[in-house]
Amino acid sequence: METVPAQATTFPWSWYTDAEILRVEQERIFRCSWQYAGHTGDAPEPGSYFTAASGHVPVVVTRDRAGELNAFVNVCRHRGHPVVSGSGRRETLQCPYHAWTYGLDGSLRAAPRAEREPDFDREHLGLRPVQVDTWGPFVFVNPDLEAPPLADTLRDLPELVAAAGVDVDALVFHDRVAFEVEANWKVVCENFLECYHCPVAHPGFSDMVDVSPDAYLLETAETFLTQRAPLRANGKQAYDPAGEVERSQFHFVLPNVGINVFPGRPNVSIGPINPLAPTRTARFLDYFFAPDCDESWIEEFVAFDEQVSREDLALVEGVQRGVATGLVDHGRLMANAEPLIAHFQDYVRAALS
């Protein structure tokens, strides 16, 4: 019988269905990591705000009267109802439950009947702050006020994207695609982190991008993981890949932010992989393009990307049905093809231990 090294095995498959595992992940991973929340165009001017999530932590990002971005836990200090939903523009944030009202700086401005309460300390009942920072138009939040700054997580990732031919500061937001997946968030992340499945499951992608093991490069760093690949010589093109960007780059900022850069005109799609329940995950991708990109080119590009996403959706939901059977303890990783998954699993194990 073959003895498989411990590092070659996957997580126990029970980790993809166990509610207690997810509870610990929320506490030890999502409450202390940088998460992509949205883009600066979501809060373009003083008085604007938008809502997001970091794991199970609801967040509201505001732009105050001085034009500064702020972020807070989107939970009323009275009884815990979300203070606002969606996005918009307003002078204050008012909870719809009992009308407790907060400034865009998070301070409590008014609470009905507060004057009747002895020792009502308004100064200590403001919204709990959350760290907020930006990379170009991309807004990140972190519930942990003691966590290192965003730059310590991104490290040289901005330089890698710039070297690919993308000036993120010049990009223009195009649209957001949001959906839910019937799978554990780790299953979705692990699918993103390998292209071992591409020749089988993504024929259109593989016809265009060289996914052979010698061409498709996998790189690990402490805080993010990278896949890079050239166009396939004489490949079949699903859209016109001519432009400033010559090679694909797919980055994964630990623990759950995917960033895609495809060949062609300058483009970035970015979004989190956010757990909703042990077997349900929320995803969205914000698409950005160069300001002079032709709309017909964008339509062809997005259609190609959405086809790949539909193929991935079927795959990860199939994996979830398999691991949920409880009849097999774990899987076997392929060390040469799936080192990024191994790195991701080491990261999660360390957090949970």
* CATH code: domain of residue 278: 3.90.380.10
pLDDT in the model for residue 234? 86
Q: Is residue 28 part of a domain?
A: no
Q: Is residue 52 part of a domain?
A: yes
Instruction: Tell me the residue range of the domain where 52 lies.
Output: 35-142
Greatest alpha-carbon pair distance for the chain in Å reads: 77
Element (H, E) at 173: strand 172-181
pLDDT in the model for residue 2? 40
Residues 238 and 102 in one domain: no
Residues 169 and 286 in one domain: yes
Q: Is residue 1 part of a domain?
A: no
pLDDT in the model for residue 4? 39
> How many structural domains compose the chain?
2
pLDDT in the model for residue 7? 63
Residues 228 and 121 in one domain: no
Residues 340 and 261 in one domain: yes
> Could you tell me the CATH number of the domain that includes residue 73?
2.102.10.10
| Full pLDDT tens readout for the chain, 353 residues | 344 344 688 999 999 999 999 999 999 999 999 999 999 999 999 999 999 999 999 999 999 999 999 999 999 999 999 999 999 999 999 999 999 999 999 999 999 999 999 999 999 999 999 999 999 999 999 999 999 999 999 999 999 999 999 999 999 999 999 999 999 999 999 999 999 999 999 999 999 999 999 999 999 999 999 999 999 998 899 999 999 999 999 999 999 999 999 999 999 999 999 999 999 999 999 999 999 999 999 999 999 999 999 999 999 999 999 999 989 999 999 999 999 999 999 999 999 98
Q: Which of 110, 142, 174 is the last residue of a domain?
A: 142
Scored b (16 or more CB within 10 A) or e, 308-334 reads beebbbebbbebbeebbeeeeeebebe
How many Å apart are CA 178 and CA 36, to the nearest integer? Answer: 14
- Which of 334, 235, 351 lies closest to 9, judged by CA? 334
